[in-house]
Structure 1
Amino acid sequence: MSITLARRRVIPGFGLTMGFTLLYMGLIFLVPVGAFLLYTTTMSWETFWHAITQRQVVASYKLSFGASLVGATINLVFGALLAWVLVRYRFPGKRLVDALVDLPFALPTAVAGIALVTLYASTGWVGRYFELFGLRVAYTQLGVVVALTYIGLPFVVRTVQPVLEDLEAEWEEASASLGADRFTTIRRVIFPALFPALLTGFALAFARALGEYGSVVFISGNLPFRTEITPLLIVAKAEQYDYHGAAAIGTVMLVVAFAMLLVINGLQWWTSRRHG
């Protein structure tokens, strides 16, 4: 008869800490989301469908999801490159650049929006030069993409950076010593190790951009059917006391964002099993 002894930990307390974790998650996340979805169920299907399929609402969906996808993709590429430079190279001002990556976290979104308008307006420091080529940034869909790219960059950098720090440079040197070229080393050694982190950073940047309001509302111009994002439309519905309409639109955003996060987590699980 064998007796299996439970592993004793140096600092016990799993039951207590798990209880606090579940309580915290319930109060902060589950209860508000559950109450929100429960409120949505008080509407009839006809009312719900009418609220989420209006032409103005559908146009805001296209802009919000499209601009968030473009912004997250841009951050996926340049955020990974920035993380690579910060981890693999030493250069003057490296600490300053590393600190500036977190600036979108600390800067209020309204301040960021005003700063972007100041830069990219037709009379701004940067926008005036774009105007010479007939390219407008402020008060256009391009301005929305710029704002969403700005606020999403830290999510990719801070997700990829720790993985790169754990990825020893000797792996790349070993690959090169075995005759692999640079592209093969990136494709067979570096990319498989970074892929789960890249997916996580992309999902976080996309989800953050999808719900962004403060920085976009200043630079977009808020023109219906052109530069009006879905979060702004939700706020407008709430200010008009159309709480059912705001809840219906918010439910669509919540379901789509949650579905995408599930897909990303599924891809991460599949990748982890495939590459060990």
Structure 2
Amino acid sequence: MSMTSAAPTTRARALRPRSAIPGFGLTLGFTLLYLSLIVLIPLAGVFLKSASLGWEGIWHVVSSPRVVAALKLSFGAALIGAGINAVFGTLVAWVFVRYQFPGKRFFDAAIDLPFALPTAVAGIALTALYAPNGWIGQYLEPLGIKVAYSPLGVIVACTFISLPFVVRTVQPVLEEAEKELEEAAASLGANRWQTITRVILPTVLPALITGFTLAFARAVGEYGSIIFIAGNLPMVSEIAPLLIIIKLEEFDYAGATAVAAAMLVLSFLLLLVINGLQIWTRSRRNRK
């Protein structure tokens, strides 16, 4: 290379603004290494261990009635709990943002208790409340409503532990929302329902879907708070994480990893669908 061609290159490098953080190559390498060590390699180990059974062995494990019932309960209860929180968690966030009332700071801080409580403590507390002789369960039992030691108890536990994810995701968006838009909609003749559906909901929908996703992901893998209130009856109130623990205690490591791999695949597919819905809502909002 001649001196004349090297001079512009050197001059261009000197004029290029220097980044305050390490370069793209270094940060990308560190990111890939960190994700590989923390996420990808452990997950790959689950699939490799389950692969020792072969396709027929994996299918035999995951298609057994007990495993299918446990997967249905875990994913169904997680979806229902996240859906309940998507509605009522949004209402809670709305009240905290738009209204002032005595004890607001206390109740706002109490939302984070499911984050801070050990899962065993949460499970014991829920069982004490909803057991047939519990504070709330004793009034539900005569009505024929059995919460503890039933699938309904699993839904209650999933709802309890996933509430903060929706509230803390939607709350900042509501705080930044412009009240003038709501006032303008009211001045133009919009009723409350029209204001909610056409002004407020489109604003918070991306954050709401994110909160729903986080709530579902948290609830589907929950173990500690559910096993106390569920009763753990096979084919009735037995969750998939508990079934994995049982197989590990029986030294059926390949079977446990097969169930874990099934949970990973189902979770990935559901999260992929939810993320696709989130991208669609954002693109639709941007077009408007």
Q: Which amino acid aligns with 1:186?
A: I
**Structure 2 portions without partners, runs of 5+:** 1-11
Alignment partner of 1:236 is 2:224? no
Q: Which amino acid aligns with 2:78?
A: S
- Bigger shift: 176-185 or 144-153? 176-185
- Determine helix, strand or coil for the equivalent of 1:254: helix
Alignment partner of 1:268 is 2:278? yes
- Determine helix, strand or coil for the equivalent of 2:146: coil
Q: Judge conservation of contact 1:203–1:260 (CA < 8 Å) in 2.
A: no
Q: How does 1:29-68 map to 2 (within 5 A)?
A: 29-68=39-78
2:128 to 107, 112, 118: 118
Determine which structure has more spread, i.e. the larger CA radius of gyration. Answer: 2
Alignment partner of 1:13 is 2:22? yes
Q: Which amino acid aligns with 2:182?
A: E
**Structure 1 portions without partners, runs of 5+:** none
2:224 to 210, 214, 217: 214
Change (3 A) 1:75 1:6: farther
Note the alpha carbon deviations across 1:237-257, whole angstroms, 9 max, x for none: 111011111111111110111
Distance 2:17 2:196 in 1: 41
* TM superposition outliers: structure 1 runs of 4+ over 6 Å: none
Structure 1 residue 17 displacement after superposition? 4.3
- Determine helix, strand or coil for the equivalent of 1:110: helix
Distance 2:163 2:65 in 1: 31
Structure 1 residue 151 displacement after superposition? 0.4
- Determine helix, strand or coil for the equivalent of 1:260: helix
Distance 1:53 1:123 in 2: 37
Percent of pairs identical after alignment? 60
1:104 to 111, 114, 118: 114
Q: What TM-score comes out, normalization by structure 2 length? A: 0.90
Q: Which amino acid aligns with 1:114?
A: I
Note the alpha carbon deviations across 1:48-78, whole angstroms, 9 max, x for none: 0000011111111221121111111111111
Change (3 A) 1:46 1:20: same
Distance 2:33 2:186 in 1: 51
- Determine helix, strand or coil for the equivalent of 1:258: helix
Root-mean-square deviation (CA), in Å?
Answer: 1.7
